[in-house]
Amino acid sequence: MARLFRERGRGRGRGSMGDSKKESNGWISAAMTGAVADLPSPLGQLGVALSDAELRESAYEIFVAACRATGSKPLTYTPQSERTIDRSTSLPPSLQRSLTSAAASKMKKALGIRSPSNKGIPGNASSKKPVSAGELMRVQMGISEQLDARIRRGLLRIAAANLGKRMESMVLPLELLQQFKSSDFPDQQEYIRWQTRNLKVLDAGLLCHPYLPLDKSDAASQRLRQILREASETPIETGKNSEAMQVLRNAAMSLAYRSFNGFGSDTCHWADGFPLNLYLYQMLLEACFNNSIEEASIIDEIDEVLELIKKTWVFLGINEMFHNLCFAWILFHRFVTTGQVEVDLLIAADKQLTEVAKDAKATQDPTYSKYLKSTLSSIMSWTEKRLLAYHDMFSSSNIESMQIIVSLGVTGAKIPVEDISNGYRHRRKEETNVARSRIDAYIRSSLRTAFAQKMEHIASSRRPSRKQSTPVLCILAQEIGNLASKEQEMFSPILKKWHPLAAGVAVATLHSCYGNELKQFISSVTELTPDVVQVLRAADKLEKQLVNIAVEDSVDSDDGGKSLIREMPPYEAESAIANLVRAWIRTRADGLKEWVDRNLQQEVWIPRATKESCAPSSVEVLRIIDETLDAYFRLPIPMHPALLPDLLIGLDRNLQHYASKAKAGCGSRNNFMPTLPALTRCEVGSKLWKKKDKSQNLTKRRSQVGSTNGDGSLSLSQLCVRINSLYHIRKELENLEKKIKTCLRNTESAQADVLNGMRTSFDLSLAACQEGILQLCETIAYKVVFHDLSHILWDALYVGETAASRIHPFLKELDPTLEMVSSTVHNRVRYRVITALMKASFDGLLLVLLAGGPSRGFSRQDSHIIEDDFKSLKDLYLADGDGLPGELVEKAAREVNNVLPLFRTDTESLIERFKLMVVETNDSAAKSKYPLPPNPGHWSPTEPNTVLHVLCHRNDDVATKFLKKTYNLPKKL
C-alpha cells in the first residue's frame, strides 16, 4: 500500500523480505503511487531510513506486545496447516474473539457506511479466513508466519526475564535485541537486517524524535549515537551476555526513562515521540482495509481490529484525538489512492473529520494543533483543486461524491477558523462564515474556468472557416445560457446547503465573464453594423436569463438579492456606443500614424515646395486633423464633450510622432562633435612642412573630424525645411484649439462648467516641436562647422605657420551659409539657427586651438593673430549691426575670451600654474610626478586640463621638454 503519512521523497532503508510479498499482493501499485503525488503528506520527513516494511514489522511487534500485556497467558503459534484442526491454541481473550459478528459493525454504522461488504481477504476462500482478530491483523499487515513466530518467541523470553514488569514499561527493540543472536535466524543477512531495523527504530525513537527534547550536550545521547554509528559499519553482538549489548542498553535506558523534572521516571518513552508514533500507528490502521485496489472498502471486522489496535495507545502515546485525526486521514487517503470509486470511504472520512472538529474545540495541545493543521492542509489542497474547477471534475455519473467532497472541504476549512484560533471566536458571524465564503470561491473559480473552456471550444471549432468573429458571441451567449441552466439544476441544489445564494453567485460570475468579452468585441468594431446589433440582442437575452435566475435564487435572502444585482451591471447601449466611438477614435488615430510614417518616408524636404518653405506633409497632416475634428462633431452621439479628450490625446500623439520623425536621422550636436585626440607635443623647429608629411597628418585628422551617426548627406536646405515644418505645425495648433472650443459651445450637451475645465490643447505636440526645432538648429550648426567646413577648419586653420593659415578662408565659406539660412528659415526661427551656428563656430575655434594635434604650434606672439581672428569671427555674426545682438554674441564668446589670455602667458608661468592646479586638485600627487588631469567637459583657464592643452600646442623647447619629461608625450598621433 502507498505510504499514507510519509512524503515520497523521504529516505528509505533497504527493504525487508516482506516488501516483495506486499507488492505482489496488491499493497503497492502504480495507480496508487500516482494518486499520492497529488496528495502531499501531512507529516515531515522521518529522518531515519526506515522502509514501510520495517515500520510495519516494528508496529506489529508493538501490537502483539500490547495485546499480550492484556492477556493472562502467553501467545502460542499454530501453523497454517493445523489451524483448521487444532483449536486448543491458547490465545489472549482479545485475540480469540469470534469474527462472525462483523455484519453488525457499530463502527461502520457510525462512519456512515451504508451496507456491509461481506467480503473476505482477497485470494482466500471463506473457509480459510482467519478465525480470530489477532490472526486477521497478522494477515492484513502482511506478516509471515515465521516472523510472527519469532516475535512471539521473543516476547515469551522477555516476559520470562522480566517477571512482574509490564510490557509498556520496557524498550521493546532493546529487549528483542537482547533475546536473539545470529544463530536464531536462518542466515546472517536476515539477522543483520533484523538488527539494523531495531537499531534504526531506537535511533528514531530516542534520538530523532524523542518524547522529551534532547540536550545536545547530553552524554547518553552522544554515547548512543556513537554506538549506532559503529553498528552501522559493523554489526554488534547481541544476546544477554554481550558486553556491547550492555553498553547499548545503558545508553538507551537512560534516555528512555527521562522525565520533565530531570529525575528518573517509571514511565518508558521510546515509541511515543512525534511523528514516529504516527508513522507506526498508521501502519496498524492500514489493516482496517482490504488489501487490493479492487476491494478498497473497510473490512467487515473493523470493530474487533480497532479494539485491538487501541491497545497500542499506551506504547505510542496516542489518545482518542490523535486516533480520530489519523483515522480521518487514512480514510481520505484510501479513497484517493484507490481510484475515488469507493464513496463509502469518502463518507467515512467526512464523518471522522466531524469528530476531529469536535476534538479541536476541546484541546489546546500545540502538538495536536501542528499535525491537525498539516493534515487539513493536505486534505484541503486535494479537495480545493477539484472544487475550484468542479465543472471539470463532476458530472451526473459522480455527482454523489461531489456533495461529500464539498462537505469535507467546508469542514476542513472551518476547523482552523472556528476551532483552533481563539482570536476568531469572538468575531461577528458574518466575518467567520467560512462555509459561505469557501463555496463562493468554488463557484466563481469553477464557472470562470468553464466559461474560458467554452470560449476556447467555440474559437477552435470556427477557426478553420476563417469567418468573422461577430457571430461567435451569439453562439457563446447560447452556450452560457445552457451552462447557467445546468448549474441551476445540477450543482446549485448541492451547494445551496452551505450558500443560500449559490445559483445567484454562479449567474453573477457568468454575467461578468460574458460582459468582459462583450466589451472587448465592441471595442474592436468602428461602427454599428447588423452583426453588432445581433450580438447586442443575444447579450440582452442572456442578461435577462441570468438576472431572472439571480432574482429567483434571492427571493428569501435578507437584502432581496440587491448585493447580487449590484454585481451584474447591465450591458448598457450608451456604454457600448461610447466604446464604439472610442474605437472610431483609435482607428482614426492609428490611420493618421500610418499616414505620417508613409508620407515622411517619401518626403524630400525641398525649399519652395510650399509658400512658407515648409514640407507639404506638414500642411497635409494639419488638414487631416482638421477634417477629423469636423467628422467627430458630426457623429450622432450625445457625449461629444466626454469623449473629446480621448480624441485630442490621439491627435496630439500623432503630431508628436510627426515631430519626432521629422528630426529623426538628422543627427544632433554630439553626432558631429569630433572626439578629442590623444595628447601630443607640437612639432618644434622648421615651419616649412613637407607636402607628404602634411598630407599624412591631414589624413589622420580627417578620421577624427566630422564623424557622425546622423545622416551627413542631408543638405542644409533640407534641414531648414524641417525646421520650418515644425514651426508651421506649432503655429497652426493655436487655430485648432480655437476651433475646438467653438465646436464644443455648439454641442447640445455642452455645459459651461464642464467646458471651462476641459483640456483642449496639444501639449505633447507643442513640446515636441519646440524640442525638434532646438535639436535641428544645433544639428545645422555643428554639421556646417564640423562636417561641411571641416576641410578648412580642421585641415587648414593654423596648420604649420600660424600667420599663413588664418581664419579668413573659414569666414569666407561660412558667410554664404548664413545667407542661405536667412533666406530659407522662417524669420521667427532664423535667429535660433544663426545663434547655434555662432556657438558651434566658437566651439570649433577652441577645438582647433586646444586639440588641433601636433601639426599646430603657437608661440606667444601668435596670440595677437588668434585674438584678431576671433574678433573677425564675432564681427561676422554682428554684421555691422544687422546681425545678432551684441549682448548675445558676447555671452556666447565668454568661454573663448576666458581661454585666449593663456596664449599670451609665458611658458614657465603656464607650467607653474599647471603644477599648482594639479597639486591642489590631487592631494596625493608627489612633487616630482603629476597625474594627467581629467577632462571636465569644458574649457576654462582654471582647469588644469585646459592649461595642459595649451602647453601641448606651445611652440617652444621649454614646453616640449616639460611634456616629454613629465608625461613622455609623443610628437605624432
| Cis, peptide link before residue 366, omega less than 30° from 0 | no
Question: Phi first, then psi: what are they for 427, rounded to 5°?
Answer: -75, 160
Q: In the chain, what are the helix, strand and coil shares in percent, each to the nearest 5? A: 65, 0, 35
From the list 767, 828, 837, the residue with the least C-alpha distance to 613 is 828
For residue 390, is it within any domain? no
- What phi-psi label fits residue 76: left (phi over 0), alpha (psi between -120 and 50 degrees) or beta? beta
825 & 868 share domain: yes
* Residue 701 contacts residue 674 (beta carbons within 8 Å): no
Largest Cα–Cα separation, the chain: 140
pLDDT at 470: 53
- Give the dihedral sign, CA 486/487/488/494: positive
809 & 932 share domain: yes
Instruction: Give how many domains the chain has, as a whole number.
Output: 4
Residue 60: all three cell numbers together: 506489529
Burial class (CB in 10 A: 0-12, 13-18, 19+), 922: middle
Residue with the three cell numbers 616649412: 688
For residue 294, is it within any domain? no
For residue 380, is it within any domain? no
From the list 585, 596, 594, 589, the residue with the least C-alpha distance to 729 is 596
483 & 622 share domain: no
From the list 505, 512, 477, 478, the residue with the least C-alpha distance to 491 is 505
- Give the dihedral sign, CA 474/480/485/490: positive
As a three-state string, the secondary structure of 253-290 is HHHHCCCCCCCCCCCCCCCCCCCHHHHHHHHHHHHHEC
CA trace torsion 849, 851, 857, 862 (10° rounding): 10
Q: What is the DSSP letter of 237?
A: P
* Residue 74 identity (one-letter amino acid): P
For residue 844, is it within any domain? yes
- What phi-psi label fits residue 96: left (phi over 0), alpha (psi between -120 and 50 degrees) or beta? alpha
Residue with the three cell numbers 601668435: 862
**Domain endpoint, select from 764, 787, 810:** 787
509 & 629 share domain: no
DSSP bridge partners of 298: 289
As a three-state string, the secondary structure of 303-318 is HHHHHHHHHHHHHHCC
Burial class (CB in 10 A: 0-12, 13-18, 19+), 712: middle
Alpha helices, DSSP H, located in 747-861: 752-756, 763-783, 790-793, 808-824, 830-851
* Residue 14 contacts residue 193 (beta carbons within 8 Å): yes
Please give the distance of CA 142 from its chain centroid, rounded to a whole number.
48
781 & 851 share domain: no
* Residue 854 contacts residue 694 (beta carbons within 8 Å): no
**Domain endpoint, select from 510, 544, 571:** 571
* Residue 415 contacts residue 372 (beta carbons within 8 Å): yes
Instruction: State the Cα angle at 210 between 206 and 216, rounded to 5°.
Output: 85
Give me the count of residues in the chain.
Answer: 973
Question: Phi first, then psi: what are they for 319, rounded to 5°?
Answer: -125, -175
Residue 625: all three cell numbers together: 486633423
Report the number of secondary-structure helices (H) and strands (E) in the chain: 43, 0
DSSP bridge partners of 289: 298
pLDDT at 261: 66
For residue 689, is it within any domain? no
How far, in Å, are 81, 307, 931 from residue 91 at the CA level? 18, 16, 103
Residue with the three cell numbers 575655434: 845
Please give the distance of CA 739 from its chain centroid, rounded to a whole number.
50
From the list 727, 657, 667, 687, the residue with the least C-alpha distance to 859 is 687
773 & 886 share domain: no
562 & 606 share domain: no
Q: How far apart are CA 626 and CA 623, in angstroms?
A: 5
**Domain endpoint, select from 732, 761, 787:** 787
pLDDT at 181: 87
For residue 410, is it within any domain? no
| 629-633 contact pairs (CB < 8 A, 24+) | 629/736, 629/739, 629/740, 629/743, 631/588, 632/585, 633/743, 633/746, 633/747
- Give the CATH number, domain containing residue 871: 1.20.58
* Residue 793 contacts residue 807 (beta carbons within 8 Å): no
For residue 305, is it within any domain? no
105 & 151 share domain: yes
Which residues span the domain enclosing 521? 437-571
- Give the CATH number, domain containing residue 767: 1.10.357.50
From the list 269, 271, 249, 270, the residue with the least C-alpha distance to 259 is 269
Tell me the three state secondary structure of residue 921. Answer: helix
Question: Phi first, then psi: what are they for 507, rounded to 5°?
Answer: -70, -30
Average pLDDT per run of 10 along the chain, which is 973 residues long?
A: 34 36 35 54 86 94 86 40 33 47 64 56 47 86 92 90 83 91 90 93 93 84 89 82 86 86 72 93 91 67 91 93 93 86 86 90 88 91 91 88 90 73 46 81 94 89 58 89 93 91 93 90 69 79 91 79 83 74 88 94 88 91 94 78 90 95 88 88 57 42 42 79 94 90 76 61 92 94 93 92 94 93 91 95 95 92 95 94 93 96 95 91 65 88 94 93 91 80
526 & 659 share domain: no
92 & 28 share domain: yes
Residue 385: all three cell numbers together: 483543486
Tell me the three state secondary structure of residue 199. Answer: helix
- DSSP line for 444-496: HHHHHHHHHHHHHHHHHHHGGGT--SHHHHHHHHHHHHHHHHHIIIIIHHHHT
CA trace torsion 430, 431, 434, 438 (10° rounding): 90
Q: How far apart are CA 309 and CA 320, in angstroms?
A: 12
From the list 487, 120, 493, the residue with the least C-alpha distance to 299 is 120
For residue 549, is it within any domain? yes
Residue 44: all three cell numbers together: 515531515
Residue with the three cell numbers 544476546: 239
pLDDT at 671: 87
749 & 890 share domain: no
Residue with the three cell numbers 441544489: 493
Q: What residues contact 246, with CB distance under 8 A and at least 6 apart? A: none
922 & 906 share domain: yes
Residue 77: all three cell numbers together: 503459534
